[in-house]
Structures are given as C-alpha cells and as structure tokens.
C-alpha cells in the first residue's frame, strides 16, 4: 500500500461475499445493501463489466435488471464508470428542478437537443443548482 494510504475500497468479490446484514450494518438500507451485493456478484460472475469500453445499452439494461437499481442509478453508473457522454439521469431531482420539468419524460424531451452530450449538460445543471439553490 502506498505511503499515506490507509484504506482501500473492497473488491467486488469481497462485497459479493458479505451478508446483507454486514452491508446494512454500515448504515445502508437492507434493500440497497442487497442491490450492492447483487451488483458485486454480477461483476464477479462476469455478467457485468463497469469500464469505459463496455457496451452501453447492454450494460444499462443489465444494471436495471438488478433488483433495487433503477434508471437513475443505471444512468449515473453509465456516466461515471462507462464514461458515456450521453448518459442522462432524467429522474434526478436536481435535473428536474433545473429544467423546470415535472416528469423524467419531460426532462428527456427538454434535453433531446443536447444529444449525444447530455452527461455534460447534467453536470452543468447540477452545478447551476449548487450555485443558486
């Protein structure tokens, strides 16, 4: 371990091997703890690769198929882990507020012109909300 580094994030195999109660014991709701463990298991089993070269549509679909992972989480993972520039968590409350949209469908419609760069727009929307709460 490099000097000064005192903690590292556990590997997917470590997380997949934990009891849900052990994950929940960290202050995570049991349903989310199960989703975290299922996500780790999918990675360990080779059913899911969270890396920039992963096929976006198939990966987002595989993420959504995990109980407890919805569109917001799948889009956020696509944005961050897959480096997908068109990821768009349309149900994000800050995105909805910044776009003055009532529904995710309305947000998607308002963001259509930003394709294929909606992830960059999302980051700007988040920053705009942070600056002007």
How big is the CA angle at 125 (ends 120 and 128), to the nearest 5 degrees?
Answer: 130
In a domain, 117, yes or no: yes
- What are the pLDDT tens digits along the chain (133 aa)? 578 888 889 999 999 999 999 999 999 999 999 999 999 999 999 999 999 999 999 999 999 999 999 999 999 999 999 999 999 999 999 999 999 999 999 999 999 999 999 999 999 999 988 754 4
Is 17 a member of any domain? Answer: no
In a domain, 84, yes or no: yes
Residues 6+ apart with CB under 8 A from 108: 88, 90
> What CA–CA distance (Å, rounded) separates 115 from 109?
11
pTM: 0.87
For residue 106, give its domain range: 70-133
Task: Provide the domain count of the chain.
Answer: 1
Residue 131, in any domain of the structure? yes
* In a domain? residue 97: yes
| Residue 123 counted as domain residue | yes
- Whether 22 is in a domain gets the answer no
Cis, peptide link before residue 117, omega less than 30° from 0: no
> Is 128 a member of any domain?
yes
- The pair of structure tokens assigned to 41 is 């298991």
The catalytic site residues sit at 92
Strand (E) positions, 2-133? none
């Amino acid at each position: 371990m490099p000097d000064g580094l005192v903690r590292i994030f556990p590997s997917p195999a470590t997380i997949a091997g934990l009891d849900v109660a052990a994950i929940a014991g960290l202050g995570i709701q049991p349903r989310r703890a199960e989703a975290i463990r299922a996500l780790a298991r999918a990675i360990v089993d080779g059913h899911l690769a969270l890396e920039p070269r992963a096929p976006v549509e198939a990966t987002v679909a595989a993420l959504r198929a995990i109980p407890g992972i919805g569109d917001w989480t799948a889009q956020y993972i696509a944005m961050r882990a897959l480096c997908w520039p068109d990821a768009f968590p349309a149900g994000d409350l800050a995105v909805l507020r910044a776009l003055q949209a009532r529904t995710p469908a309305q947000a998607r419609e308002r963001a259509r012109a930003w394709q294929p760069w909606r992830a960059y727009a999302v980051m700007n929307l988040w920053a705009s909300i942070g600056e002007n709460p």
